[in-house]
Amino acid sequence: MPLSPSDTHKVLESIGHKPKKKLGQNFLIDGNIVKKSLTMAAPSPSDAIVEIGPGLGTLTEELLSRGYQVHAVELDPNLAAYLRKKFSKELKNNSLVLTEGDAVKEPTGSLTLKDDTFRIVANLPYAISSPWLESILGGKKIPQSMTLMLQKEAADRMWAKPSTKNYNALSIFLHGAYKLEKSHAVSKQCFYPVPAVDSVLIHMKRLPEPFLYQKESRNLIRKVFTKRRKQMGAVIKQESTRSQEILEDWLKQTGLPRTLRAEQISPTDWQHLSQIISD
Ligand code: SAM
């Protein structure tokens, strides 16, 4: 059951917990948003669900009540202890597996590679949304879909198009593997405590043939983007010999002009660079 602000306050008081800003502890208190997350995610009964930052377990409870197996990752030891008590039955019968740890290091918690189809449903701690997504995209298996509550600005950056100020390395990696299907603005009043920033609930679906950038290409693209407004010709000169060779080869093969800047180059052209590195 989603909690009202006063109920949430009471629960927090009963466990002696003060919401930590640093950990993005703004708890969902709106039942419609909890249900909307599930409607957007539309998992099949056999899908495993990964939830990042279960907090007081509002979303977790809804997922469990619908019969899904949930793999949750919570960093805060106080909240993890509360969840272990609240869901002792579900933990015993393994419908909930709780990992107490950092989701950036364990982006899918206790999920194993045997879990064929899985989805992510999460009200993310906003400070880790980008590094966590990078960890997910760098993993061996990526989810079928991700239904995420994000800071509005972060979502805008993730789905930015080339030649806009928000376009960055993560937008490129995401465009290769996912399609943004739905987006829903969420009022600040849906959280306790009320956050300072605007939020948005988004649903992204894995592409039929997702393109995953390997580590070396991700590192190179990220590095090139630190000089996003410099012409590629000038950027190349400052790179290591190996990167210079790769980038020169890429410009030659694609016919991209040396005067182009990183922020103007399309995700498809960056994929070509990644293929050169993998070959
Ligand atoms: N899911 C709950 C809800 O919707 O009410 C809480 C969401 S709250 C926005 C974010 C949660 O993520 C908090 O419980 C916080 O402790 C947890 N968290 C913060 N950083 C984390 C990290 N690096 N790894 C795992 N959980 C984290």
* Whole-angstrom distance, CA of residue 103 vs CA of residue 254: 37
The DSSP line for 6-57 is HHHHHHHHHTT-PPPGGGT--EE--HHHHHHHHHHH---TT-EEEEE--TTS
Give the pLDDT confidence score for residue 141 in this predicted structure. 87
The CATH number of 5-206, from 3.30.200.20, 3.40.50.410, 3.90.230.10, 3.40.50.150, is: 3.40.50.150
Ligand 1 midpoint to CA 81 (Å): 14
Question: Whole-model pTM?
Answer: 0.95
| CB environment 19-50: b (16+ within 10 A), e (fewer) | beeebbbbbbbbeebbebbbebbebeeebbbb
Closest CA to 7 of 58, 83, 59, 73: 58
H or E segment to which residue 86 belongs: helix 77-86
Substitution candidate for ligand 1 out of 74, 78, 108, 197 with most atoms within 8 A of CB: 74
Ligand 1 midpoint to CA 244 (Å): 41
Ligand 1 midpoint to CA 116 (Å): 25
Q: Do 5-206 and 215-278 agree at the fold level?
A: no
Ligand 1 midpoint to CA 24 (Å): 6
Ligand 1 midpoint to CA 80 (Å): 10
What are the sequence ranges of the domains in the chain? 5-206, 215-278
pLDDT in tens, the chain (279 residues): 667 889 999 999 999 999 999 999 999 999 999 999 999 999 999 999 999 999 999 999 999 999 999 999 999 999 999 999 999 999 999 999 999 999 999 999 999 866 668 999 999 999 999 999 999 999 888 999 999 999 999 999 999 999 999 999 999 999 999 999 999 999 999 999 999 999 999 999 999 999 999 999 999 999 999 999 999 999 999 999 999 999 999 999 999 999 999 999 999 999 999 999 998
Ligand 1 midpoint to CA 93 (Å): 24
The number of residues making up the chain comes to 279
Give the pLDDT confidence score for residue 1 in this predicted structure. 64
Q: Output the residue whose Cα is nearest ligand 1's atom 17.
A: 53
Substitution candidate for ligand 1 out of 4, 27, 37, 200 with most atoms within 8 A of CB: 27
Q: Ligand 1 pocket: which residues have CB below 6 Å?
A: 23-28, 52-56, 58-59, 73-76, 79, 102-104, 123, 125, 128
Closest CA to 195 of 236, 152, 164: 152
Yes or no: domain 215-278 corresponds to CATH 1.10.1740.10? no
